Amino acid sequence: MSNSENNQVQWKSPAGKYWKELSAICSAKRSTKPSAKCSAESWDDLVQIHDWLKNRTESANQERESSPVFIFRGQGPHGDLKTSIERAFEEFEIDGNERPKFEKQLIRSFQRKAPYHLKGVGVPTLDNTLEWLSLMQNHGAPTRLLDWTYSFYRALYNAISKSSRSRKDKLWESELWVMNTRWFTNKTENKMRESINKAPQSTEEERERMEELLNFLDNAKEEVKDYKGLLANNRSKMVQYLMGEEPLPLVYNVTPIGLNERIIYQQGTFVLPGDITKCFMQNLEPYKKNNCKDHLFRIAIKLEHQGRNRIIEELNDMNINEAVLFPGLDGFARSLWMELAFLHKR
Query: Would you list the domain boundaries of the chain?
Result: 3-181+251-303
Query: Given pLDDT bands bounded at 50, 70 and 90, which one contains residue 222?
Result: low
20 vs 240, more confident: 240
CB atoms within 10 A of CB 340: 10
Q: Which helix (H) or strand (E) holds 297?
A: strand 296-303
Let me know the angle formed at the C-alpha of 308 by 307 and 314, rounded to the nearest 5 degrees: 90
Q: In which region does residue 279 sit, left (phi positive, over 0), alpha (psi from -120 to 50) or beta (all else)?
A: beta
Q: Determine the pLDDT at residue 34.
A: 41
Query: Given pLDDT bands bounded at 50, 70 and 90, which one contains residue 3?
Result: very low
Q: Determine the pLDDT at residue 15.
A: 41
Identify the weakest region by mean pLDDT among 137-146, 249-258, 288-297: 288-297
Distance separating alpha carbons of residues 295 and 183, to the nearest angstrom: 7
1 vs 253, more confident: 253
What 3-state class would DSSP assign to 178? strand
Judge contact between 289 and 274, C-beta under 8 A: no
CA nearest to 318, candidates 196, 189, 153: 153
Please say if the pLDDT value at position 25 is more than 90: no
**Interior/surface letters 10-28, b for 16+ CB within 10 angstroms, e for the rest:** ebeebeeebbbebbebbbe
Please say if the pLDDT value at position 19 is more than 60: no
Q: Determine the pLDDT at residue 213.
A: 84
Q: Determine the pLDDT at residue 217.
A: 78
Predicted structure pTM score: 0.89
Distance separating alpha carbons of residues 263 and 99, to the nearest angstrom: 27
CB atoms within 10 A of CB 336: 12
Please say if the pLDDT value at position 17 is more than 60: no
Average confidence (pLDDT) over 28-36:
48
Judge contact between 149 and 268, C-beta under 8 A: yes
Q: Determine the pLDDT at residue 36.
A: 45
Task: Summarize pLDDT for 225-260 with one digit per residue, the tens.
Answer: 666 667 777 788 889 999 987 889 999 999 998 888
User: Rounded mean pLDDT of the chain?
Assistant: 86
What 3-state class would DSSP assign to 170? coil
CB atoms within 10 A of CB 211: 12
Identify the weakest region by mean pLDDT among 53-62, 79-88, 306-315, 337-346: 53-62
Residue spans of alpha helices (H) in the chain: 3-7, 17-28, 43-62, 84-91, 99-118, 129-138, 152-161, 181-198, 204-219, 230-242, 261-266, 280-288, 305-317, 322-325, 329-339
Q: Determine the pLDDT at residue 116.
A: 92
